[in-house]
Amino acid sequence: MRLDRFLSHSSGLSRNQVKVLLHRGDVLIDGQPVRDSSLQVNATNRITLEGKLLHWPRNYYVMLHKPLGYVCSTEESSHPLVASLIARVWAGELHSAGRLDADTTGLVLLTNDGNWSHALTSPRRHCDKTYLAGVKHPLQPELVERFAAGIVLNDDPKPTLPAQLQILDTHSARVKLHEGRYHQVRRMFAACSNRVETLHREAIGNIALDASLQSGQWRELTSEEVANV
Ligand code: URA
């Protein structure tokens, strides 16, 4: 995190007030005065302001039931951002641990803890993601084996990792993936000459979307959920 951001978050001062204090040499990092507001700092730094030790802002872990039309980006977009659904001063600090397309609904996890989101999304962790897909054409039983064997996408020669497909009825299925390539579920069905019309994420790893959350609602994760990814 940038030093000026850390200072204003942990002290409650405005960016301008922070600038003045930095200029005056009132900010020490590990005992040394620092004037560069853009310096990157982390939780291992001991940062004092006018002699007082500042504490690292707390971590937030949120599950959101993402509605259609919202994007998981942190940058401005023509679509509204998922963080705008979280009416808290700290919402702007959050990033999503694994994105969903604007056209996909369901579970999005948001946090300001980069280590946690990295652990959750790292390809080496193979954290399962579970989706419900509604498709245009009837589902053939052979598709179960094709998903399990790995599918060569139309525009990528590297086959997908084995995925589980559970056919629920002629036009809907539950898909469990261990990886998270761009638009992966839609592209897997497209490679099998079908088309995803609705897509909803039910779970990431051990965290399932809370059934009591309506579209657009959110809650903080419990400490058990945070620890049990
Ligand atoms: N796969 C997709 O195609 N879209 C998503 O949002 C997530 C997985």
- Same domain (yes/no): 65, 27: no
State whether 133 and 190 are in the same domain: yes
Q: Which of 38, 53, 68 is the last residue of a domain?
A: 53
7 & 43 share domain: yes
State which ligand 1 atom lies nearest to the alpha carbon of 183.
Answer: 3
Catalytic residues: 101
- Enter the DSSP assignment of 129: E
Smallest CA separation from ligand 1 atom 7, residue:
100
Q: pTM of the predicted model, to two decimals? A: 0.81
How far apart (Å, rounded) are the C-alpha atoms in residues 39 and 1?
8
Do 32 and 139 lie in a common domain? no
* 172-177-182 Cα angle (round to 5): 95
Q: What pLDDT shows up at residue 10? A: 85
Q: What CATH number is associated with residue 77?
A: 3.30.70.580
One domain, residues 7 and 74:
no
Which of 47-61, 118-132, 202-216 reaches the highest mean pLDDT? 202-216
- The whole domain housing 69 covers 58-125+210-229
CA of 113 to the centre of ligand 1 (A): 23
Which residues lie with the beta carbon below 6 Å from any ligand 1 atom? 100-101, 104, 183-186, 199
Domains in the chain, number: 3
Give the number of other CB atoms < 10 A from CB of residue 170: 11
CA 90 to centroid of ligand 1, rounded, Å: 27
Query: 183 and 82, same structural domain?
Result: no
pLDDT band per the 50, 70, 90 thresholds, residue 79: very high
Q: Which of 71, 101, 160, 187 to mutate to test the pocket of ligand 1 (most atoms within 8 A of CB)?
A: 101
Residues 134/174, Cβ–Cβ less than 8 Å: no
CATH number at residue 176: 3.30.70.1560
Q: Are residues 88 and 192 in the same domain?
A: no
The per-residue pLDDT for range 11-45, each reduced to its tens digit, is 878 889 999 999 999 999 999 999 999 999 987 89
Do 119 and 214 lie in one domain? The reply is: yes
The two three-digit tokens of residue 87, written as one number: 């009416």
The average confidence (pLDDT) of the chain is 93
User: What distance in Å separates the CA atoms of residue 213 and residue 135, rounded to the nearest whole number?
Assistant: 25
> Are the C-beta atoms of 104 and 199 separated by less than 8 Å?
yes
